[in-house]
Amino acid sequence: MARYFMTLAYRGAPFHGWQTQPGACTVQQTIEEGLSTVLREPVKIVGAGRTDTGVNASKMVAHFDLDVPLQMSGPSLCRALNSILGKDIAIYNVEEVAPDLHARFSARSRTYHYYVVTRKSPFFYPLSWQAPPSLDFEAMNRAASLLLTTSDFTSFAKLHSDAKTNICRVTRAEWVRLTEDGWVFIITADRFLRNMVRAVVGTLVDVGRGKMTVDDFAAVIGRRDRCAAGTSMPPQALYLHDITY
């Protein structure tokens, strides 16, 4: 058996998330159909994570296994896939890896970005969130720093999910100014729960709007209750940005 890692990106809006599900167009299903067409055999892929409907990935990693090693080069397979997958998915690299390297379980960290703009823009709105210009990003960063000392993220976890534990280790959580009107929230952790980043950002935005203090944010974490946190943010501004192994 030969195992291959694939690095790719996609725009989430046209898809019902990453994971294959009956009757829905998903990223995983689309790529599997493309691979099966090019390689002329059924191929299943395993992604490094599962993004929700509408969420983007500027970098996703997936692996697939073949009984017989590829008869074409990685760049040739990328070109073949990119020619049939449409404009919303881009395959950047395919390379053979050790058989025990796993796209999901071997990952050491994942980083998400959430982009906001504080001025109306006809260019950025499809892939970012238009924020009120009065958001207090300093207060939001003070609140975000509390995530670095948090281990239980139940308050930001999707209710009734299939996660066995809500424990995560966050190593970076901060708002970074990109332009006069643009900001990005960067968060890195060893793992993420379903809907976690959008719930975290929504609660931080409540701090930025003055609806919640930094102490209130700390209390939300301590309550371990999703109903105590803020609303989930729109998905189009969220990107799976990086995965490390």
Q: Which token pair is 191?
A: 């793992």
- For residue 223, report the phi and psi dihedrals to the nearest 5 degrees: -75, -25
Domain 2-97 matches domain 109-244 at the CATH topology level: yes
The H or E element spanning position 16 is none
Rounded to whole angstroms, the Cα distance separating 30 from 47 reads: 13
Q: Residue 192: pLDDT above 90?
A: yes
pLDDT tens, position by position, 159-191: 767 778 999 999 999 999 999 999 999 999 999
Cα-Cα-Cα-Cα torsion 14, 16, 19, 22, nearest 10 degrees, comes to -120
Q: Return the closest-CA partner of residue 104 out of 198, 34, 190.
A: 190
Active-site position among 52, 67, 100, 136: 52
Rounded to whole angstroms, the Cα distance separating 221 from 149 reads: 11
Averaged pLDDT for residues 56-77 = 97
Q: Which residue matches tokens 């823009």?
A: 121
| pLDDT tier for residue 1 given thresholds of 50, 70 and 90 | very high
The whole-model pTM stands at: 0.95
The rounded mean pLDDT for the chain is 96
Q: Are 49 and 18 in contact (CB under 8 A)?
A: yes
CATH of domain 2-97: 3.30.70.580
Averaged pLDDT for residues 61-82 = 97
Rounded to whole angstroms, the Cα distance separating 190 from 171 reads: 8
Phi-psi region of 208 (alpha: psi -120 to 50; beta: other; left: phi over 0): alpha
Q: Are 215 and 187 in contact (CB under 8 A)?
A: no
In whole angstroms, what separates CA 202 from the centre of its chain?
16
Per-residue pLDDT at 205 = 98
Per-residue pLDDT at 199 = 98
- For residue 155, report the phi and psi dihedrals to the nearest 5 degrees: -65, -20
Per-residue pLDDT at 158 = 85
pLDDT tens, position by position, 12-41: 999 999 999 999 999 999 999 999 999 999
Neighbours of 138 (CB within 10 A): 10
Residues 92-122 as b/e (b if ≥16 CB within 10 A, e otherwise) read eebeeeeeeebbeebbebbbbbbbbbbeeee
Q: Residue 233: pLDDT above 90?
A: yes
Could you give the 3-state DSSP secondary structure of residue 169? coil
Q: Which token pair is 40?
A: 């002329």
> Where exactly are the structural domains of the chain?
2-97, 109-244
The yes-or-no answer on residue 242 being catalytic is: no
**Three-state secondary structure string covering 81-124:** HHCCCCCCEEEEEEEEECCCCCCCCCCCEEEEEEEEECCCCCCC
CATH of domain 109-244: 3.30.70.660
